[in-house]
Amino acid sequence: MNLLYKSTRSADRKVTASEAILKGLAEDGGLFVPESVPKLDVSMEDLKNRSYQETAYAVMKQFLTDFTEEELKHCISSAYDDKFDTEVIAPLVKVGDTYHLELFHGATIAFKDMALSILPHLLTTAAKKNNVTKEIVILAATSGDTGKAALAGFADVPGTKIIVFYPKGGVSRVQELQMITQKGDNTAVVAIHGNFDNAQSGVKALFEDKELEKRLDGAGYQFSSANSINIGRLVPQVAYYVYAYAKLLENGEIEDGEEINVAVPTGNFGNILAAYYAKQMGVPIAKLICASNENKVLFDFFRTGVYDRNRDFILTSSPSMDILISSNLERLIYTVAGQDSGKNAELMRQLKEKGTYEITPDMKEKLADFVGGFATEEETREAIHDTYERTGYVMDTHTAVASYVCADYRKRSGDSRKCLVVSTASPYKFARSVMTAIDPGYEGMDELALIDELHKVSGMAVPAAIEEIRKADIRHTRECDADRMEETVREILGV
């Protein structure tokens, strides 16, 4: 059966999976969603001894139905190979009474690698399928991790160029160094004077700019997106929830069919939406615990039904979650509106114009599977410190937010189901915040010295991604104002 995709903002046109991946964003500014979420066609019992790659295939073939078996398997084996520093790709580690799903073993040591190491393969396959002859220009806004993962994925991929925008001063030093040292003749990195929301809104505006599209067309280019608005990023992420459940079963930690909760450190709402899709595919997930940092728009939304981005943007120690406009929430809104694209489009118009909208009580009721929570900076530090003291396990700031919220939810609700904490970045990526949480005495040390200290206290090998930036040359120094992104793109492409 062929699964088609439609926009969250209009009902008229349906596209294939490969077309949706190529376009990134629908023409009306909406996001592509599958007409319905497919069910898994294998049992957990069957999945439990399978490799990550086999599980990914079992999941992705259900969503990407216009890819052949050969194409999809080729994409999967090219993505999930020795770029990951562990054969299992996504290890499950028991920490105290929770299970950490470590998604940071790829080339850029954040969970974005799970999707961005396969997206370039999906995209180039989709281009061939649809007889695209133009060069594809990937535009990405990043709160720190997408940028590097996308750059690494697309560097020197024939037929593509990639331009990444990040907020100057809004990412960690390691994140910035990883991006500005990126090699590859087709890569460009731009620091914007603004925050992540400015970068993301700017990129969306470029996608919707018809004038620019004509110019690009004339020069033989077309845009696509590497942000999680692209369905080609979301689908690969569903796989690791299925994989994690099967591994819990294989390890005898749960019984077949036993419900678990998942706690996800959330920014743009992509990762947790993938968990929601996994649940709809048939994975026994009870609660989806949406963990925010002090930018707690989503916590307020789940509590009140009002989404309100009119508030101060706070720079925290978990910068990849410093976001006030969570793009992928639109896919959930559309779903709980009963797939009513008109209703969703109206709410998104209010968000754009007034910065706020309210859902109906009926829609709110359908969000009962979600639990919102947040951790303050102090609580995040506490979580890192206490977990280290209790277990010796060192986690990064983003994971710490989820770990805190998970424990807090357990205490308050009495819900004793087993909980999967989604571990989204290596602590090495945020060495300063992590080490000073463990001991404020590390305050005065520089970032690279802290990396050595982190190695001493954790015993974890220093990832290759960190060794690289120690000696790499800086190759990208471009900056621009948030309202000059269009000119910057034209300059880079020469159009």
Ligand X SMILES: *Cc1c(COP(=O)(O)O)cnc(C)c1O
- The pairing of strands 306-308 and 356-358 is antiparallel
Q: The tokens of 385 are what? A: 């410190």
d(CA 397, CA 436): 11
Q: Which residues of 143-162 are buried (b: 16+ CB within 10 A; e: fewer)?
A: bbbbbbbbbbbbbebeebbb
Residue 92 Cβ vs ligand X, minimum distance, rounded to whole Å: 18
CA–CA separation, 491 and 495 (whole Å)? 7
* β-pair partners for 223: 137
Closest CB to ligand X among residues 249, 434? 434
| Nearest to ligand X of 110, 231 (CB atom) | 110
Residue found under tokens 């898994």: 40
Asked whether position 433 contacts ligand X by CB under 6 A, the answer is no
Residue 398 CB, nearest distance to ligand X (Å)?
A: 4
Q: How distant, in Å, are the alpha carbons of 12, 24, 28, 203, 348 from that of 342?
A: 11, 21, 12, 24, 10
**Which residues between 348 and 407 bind ligand X (CB under 6 A)?**
398
Are the C-beta atoms of residues 373 and 405 closer than 8 Å to each other?
yes
Single-letter amino acid code for the residue at 196:
F
Per-residue binder mask for ligand X (CB under 6 A), 93-112, x = binder = -----------------x-x
Nearer to ligand X (CB atom), residue 247 or residue 398: 398
- Helices and strands (DSSP H and E) totals, the chain: 22, 16
User: What DSSP string describes 185-209?
Assistant: TTEEEEEEES-HHHHHHHHHHHHH-
Q: Which of 6, 112, 148, 296 is catalytic?
A: 112
Are the C-beta atoms of 295 and 323 separated by less than 8 Å?
yes
* Backbone φ and ψ of 383, nearest 5°: -60, -45
Cβ closest to ligand X, residue 153 vs residue 265 = 265
- Asked if 154 and 122 touch (Cβ cutoff 8 Å), the reply is no
- Give the three-class secondary structure for 93: strand
Q: Residue 492 CB, nearest distance to ligand X (Å)?
A: 24
Over its C-alpha atoms, the chain yields an Rg (Å, rounded) of 21
Q: Choose between 270 and 372: whose C-beta lies nearer to ligand X.
A: 270
| SS3 at position 102 | strand
| Residues numbered 284-343 forming contacts with ligand X, rule: CB under 6 A | 320-321
The stretches of 155-269 forming alpha helices (DSSP H) are: 173-180, 196-208, 210-218, 231-250
| Residue bearing tokens 């990407």 | 64
Question: What x/- string results for residues 259 through 278 when contact with ligand X is judged by CB under 6 A?
Answer: ------xxxxxxx-------
Closest separation in Å from C-beta 399 to ligand X: 8
Instruction: Indicate which single residue of 178, 424, 433, 488 sits in contact with ligand X (rule: CB under 6 A).
Output: 424
In the bound state with ligand X, the residue whose beta carbon lies nearer, of 18 and 426, is 426
Identify which of 444, 434, 201 has the alpha carbon closest to the alpha carbon of residue 326.
201
CB nearer to ligand X: pick between 124 and 144: 144
Task: Tell me whether residue 16 or residue 424 sits nearer to ligand X (CB atom).
Answer: 424
Whether the CB-CB separation of 118 and 240 falls below 8 Å is answered with: no
Least separation in angstroms between CB 433 and ligand X: 12
Report in angstroms how near the CB of residue 491 gets to ligand X at its nearest: 28
Look-up of token digits 């720190």: 144
- Nearer Cβ to ligand X (125/202): 202
Taking CB under 6 A as the criterion, the residue among 425, 450, 469, 489 binding ligand X is 425
Of 145, 197, 330, 408, the one binding ligand X by CB under 6 A: 145
Q: Measured from the CB of residue 383, what is the shortest distance to ligand X in angstroms?
A: 14
Q: Give CA separation, 160 vs 17, 67, 153, 478, 493, in Å.
A: 19, 20, 11, 20, 12
Dist. CA 98–CA 103, nearest whole Å: 15
Shortest separation between residue 48's beta carbon and ligand X, angstroms: 26
Q: Closest separation between CB of residue 109 and ligand X, Å? A: 9
Structure-token match 């919707």, residue found: 208
Nearby residues of 88 by Cβ (< 8 Å), 6 or more positions away: 51, 52
| 14 in active site | no
The residues carrying an active-site annotation are 112
Contacts with ligand X by CB under 6 A lie at 110, 112, 145, 228, 265-271, 320-321, 398, 424-425
